[in-house]
């Protein structure tokens, strides 16, 4: 997204964070990476214990999910040069992906003590604290990353809001303020608007939730599932007449589709769901349109 020093590369921070909850899968290095690992291995025979080479090879192993080999190289790099913070940070990522969360936090604390502006380390610590069930401790790290980044991505605002919602205080207004901050900076990003919608609905601000939904729906070519979501919000708020009108609008939008789209399995399922809602045969639970 932009060229920054490693400590300020927010795209890398997000990739390392795994905010989409990506699970590392062991893979064999192949292609250019395989050749590069072989080259590094050959060079290490001439320079055994070279911390920079070990760091590079360890990171290649880590990126391919070979966590055991990555750990071996990164630990050797730190043994050779204890001040090599990039090796400590990558080892923290390995520890996180191995579910060794206490070790990961210790490594990240040490890195941040030496490099307080390292956004990758701070974002990763926020993620690890969330995984460890310590959301209240993750919030200040998310705050710092967002404050120090000139181009934050929506995922970070969402991660912070979820940390706020997961903390014992469960401050809906604070979570919503954080999402609104993201919208103010980035515009009406649908993922931010949808989370704001959910928070508005949870807090009882139904009209606010509907305004959010309308804003998202305005930019969508197909509106039938969004209209069903609108109906669900209204039904859950005991506004049955308005809910049924939204469901009828959804059916009308479905009927207006070309035949090839109307006859899909997904469209048939949607038609049945809308019919059940109009007949009052479904429980009052929200349904996401992102199916």
Q: What was the pLDDT predicted at 12?
A: 43
Question: Using an 8 Å Cβ cutoff, are 234 and 246 in contact?
Answer: yes
Q: How far apart are CA 120 and CA 9, in angstroms?
A: 7
- Quick one: angle between helices 206-218 and 224-236, nearest 10? 180
Cα–Cα nearest to 144, from 120, 119, 166, 127: 119
Q: How far is CA 159 from CA 123, 128, 146, 165, 272, in A?
A: 10, 12, 11, 10, 35
- Give the Cβ contact number of residue 124 at 10 Å: 27
Q: How far apart are CA 154 and CA 221, in angstroms?
A: 22
Q: What was the pLDDT predicted at 43?
A: 79
Question: Using an 8 Å Cβ cutoff, are 176 and 186 in contact?
Answer: no
What pLDDT tens digit does each residue of the chain (291 aa) get? 333 433 334 444 444 444 433 333 333 444 567 777 778 777 778 888 889 899 998 999 998 889 999 999 999 999 999 999 999 999 999 999 999 999 999 999 999 999 999 999 999 999 999 999 999 999 999 999 999 998 899 999 999 999 999 997 779 999 999 999 999 999 989 899 999 999 999 999 999 999 999 988 988 899 999 999 999 999 999 999 999 999 999 999 999 999 999 999 999 999 999 999 999 877 665 555 544
State the architecture of 1-133 in CATH terms.
Alpha Horseshoe (1.25)
Q: What was the pLDDT predicted at 169?
A: 74
End-to-end alpha-carbon separation of the chain, Å?
28
CB-neighbour burial class of residue 160 (10 A; exposed 0-12, middle 13-18, buried 19+): buried
Cα–Cα nearest to 9, from 161, 94, 172, 121: 121
Question: Using an 8 Å Cβ cutoff, are 290 and 216 in contact?
Answer: no
Buried b / exposed e along 232-242 (16+ C-beta atoms within 10 A): bbbbbbebeeb
Residue range(s) occupied by CATH 1.25.40.10 in the chain: 1-133
Can you list the alpha helix ranges (DSSP code H) found in the chain?
A: 10-17, 31-46, 51-63, 67-80, 85-97, 101-114, 119-131, 135-148, 154-166, 172-186, 190-202, 206-218, 224-236, 240-255, 259-262, 265-278
Q: What was the pLDDT predicted at 31?
A: 52
Question: Using an 8 Å Cβ cutoff, are 129 and 141 in contact?
Answer: yes
Q: What was the pLDDT predicted at 35?
A: 75
Q: What was the pLDDT predicted at 22?
A: 36
């Amino acid at each position: 997204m932009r060229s920054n020093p490693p400590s300020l590369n927010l795209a890398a921070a997000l990739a390392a964070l795994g905010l989409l909850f990506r699970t590392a899968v062991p893979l064999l290095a192949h292609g250019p990476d395989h050749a590069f690992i072989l080259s590094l291995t050959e060079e290490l025979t001439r320079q055994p214990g070279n911390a920079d080479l070990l760091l590079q090879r360890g990171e290649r192993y880590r990126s391919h999910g070979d966590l055991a080999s990555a750990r071996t190289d990164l630990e050797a790099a730190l043994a050779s040069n204890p001040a090599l913070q990039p090796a400590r940070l990558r080892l923290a990522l390995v520890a996180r992906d191995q579910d060794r969360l206490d070790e990961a936090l210790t490594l990240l604390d040490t890195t941040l003590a030496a490099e307080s502006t390292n956004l990758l380390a701070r974002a990763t610590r926020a993620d690890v604290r969330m995984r460890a069930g310590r959301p209240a401790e993750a919030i200040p790290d998310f705050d710092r990353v967002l404050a120090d980044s000139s181009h934050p991505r929506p995922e970070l605002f969402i991660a912070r809001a979820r940390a706020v919602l997961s903390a014992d205080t469960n401050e809906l207004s604070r979570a919503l303020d954080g999402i609104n901050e993201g919208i103010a900076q980035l515009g009406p990003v649908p993922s931010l608007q949808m989370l704001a919608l959910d928070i508005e609905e949870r807090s009882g601000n139904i009209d606010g939730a509907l305004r959010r939904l309308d804003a998202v729906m305005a930019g969508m070519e197909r509106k039938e599932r969004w209209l069903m979501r609108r109906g669900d919000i209204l039904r859950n708020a005991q506004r049955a007449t308005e809910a049924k009108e939204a469901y009828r609008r959804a059916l009308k939008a479905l009927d207006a589709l070309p035949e090839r789209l109307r006859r899909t399995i997904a469209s048939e399922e949607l038609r049945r769901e809308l019919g059940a809602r109009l007949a009052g045969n479904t429980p009052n639970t929200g349904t996401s349109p992102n199916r």
